[in-house]
Amino acid sequence: MSTPTHRITPGPKPPWLKVPVPQGATVHRLTRELRERGLHTVCEEARCPNMGECWDGGTATFMVLGDTCTRGCRFCAVKTHSQGTPVDAEEPTKVADAVVAMKLRYVVLTMVDRDDLDDGGAAHVADTVRAIDARDPDVLVEVLTGDFQGDERQLRTLLASNPDVFAHNIETVLRLTPRVRDQRCSYVQSLRVLQQAKRIAPDIVTKSSIMVGLGESDREIDQAMDDLREHDVDVVTFGQYLRPTIKHLPVKEHVTPARFKAFEQRARRKGFLYVASGPLVRSSYKAAEYYIEGMLRRRREEASHSS
């Protein structure tokens, strides 16, 4: 396995990272639906190149609990402050209405960290899951959350709403965590939260994501995969880190598609249920969601036939 021993200068973006701006009738229509409800998706905020394909396929990612995070990770462009924005009590209903209007089949609910709230925002996310289920119980819901400071009570509050997938990202390898993530984040704590979720809700699908291109070695990536499997994580995604602004961490390497394919092959051999690995893959990614959706719908059908 290769282990970088020198600083890598990535230079201009390679061809595989150059993609057209998402557009088309579906994008325009759904953007209008969101603006009418005062909602935004991570798909838009991150200018995700996969947005049009995901929306056409009935998936989207909503960010709840405002646009201000109480942590300051060095890779993330979300605004930070010690206090988040006031919680909109109507947001769960607004999101559920948008899900129905957009005719979505698979929804990801992500959140900013809200260390300023007594429960870290767990009840609000849970209310949003329940609101979607009340409007359309056929919609599958993935929650992509923070670590809730490792408080199992908050995690239990969230999981009581019965989401179909629990996702929490370790983001990077152990060595780079202190430099990449906020000092209140911990690699070990993130792994523990993922394992706790599986223990609390054994049937839930657990998922995590790793950014590459920050100076990690292949050996460190392999160790992160092993750590995720040892903590009962079912699905992993790998994507290229892209620097949001000059104030954020620089890209050390533009990882080639061939190396991403190697990550995928190694992760499959380690026993993950599904792996999505590529330069444009994000933690909320259509291929992983399509696979998980198919698997969960088969489970529902089997359960209904056996009852």
* DSSP β-bridge partners for residue 209: 237
Residue range 173-178: average pLDDT?
Answer: 97
Look at residue 3 and tell me if it is in a domain. Answer: no
The pLDDT value given to residue 272: 96
The pLDDT value given to residue 41: 60
Look at residue 49 and tell me if it is in a domain. Answer: yes
Look at residue 6 and tell me if it is in a domain. Answer: no
Q: Give the Cα separation of 295 and 6 in Å (integer).
A: 43
- Per the model's pLDDT, the better-predicted residue between 116 and 37 turns out to be 116
Note whether 130 and 98 are within 8 A (CB). Answer: no
Note whether 272 and 233 are within 8 A (CB). Answer: yes
Q: How confident is the model at residue 4 (pLDDT cuts 50, 70, 90)?
A: very low
- pLDDT per residue over 147-172, tens digit each? 999 999 999 999 999 999 999 999 99
- pLDDT per residue over 251-303, tens digit each? 999 999 999 999 999 999 999 999 999 998 877 666 567 678 888 888 888 88
CATH number, domain at 273?
3.20.20.70
Look at residue 10 and tell me if it is in a domain. Answer: no
Look at residue 60 and tell me if it is in a domain. Answer: yes
- pLDDT per residue over 45-82, tens digit each? 445 555 555 555 557 788 899 888 999 998 887 888 99
Range of the domain at 77: 20-306
What's the total number of domains in the chain?
A: 1
Residue range 223-246: average pLDDT?
Answer: 94
The pLDDT value given to residue 1: 43
Give the residue carrying structure tokens 């989207």.
60
Look at residue 9 and tell me if it is in a domain. Answer: no
Look at residue 4 and tell me if it is in a domain. Answer: no
The pLDDT value given to residue 56: 52
The pLDDT value given to residue 3: 41
187, with CB counted inside 10 A (0-12, 13-18, 19+), is: buried
b/e per residue, 191-223, with b = 16+ CB within 10 A?
bebbbbbbeebeebbbbbbbbbbbbbebebbbe
The pTM assigned to this predicted structure is: 0.87
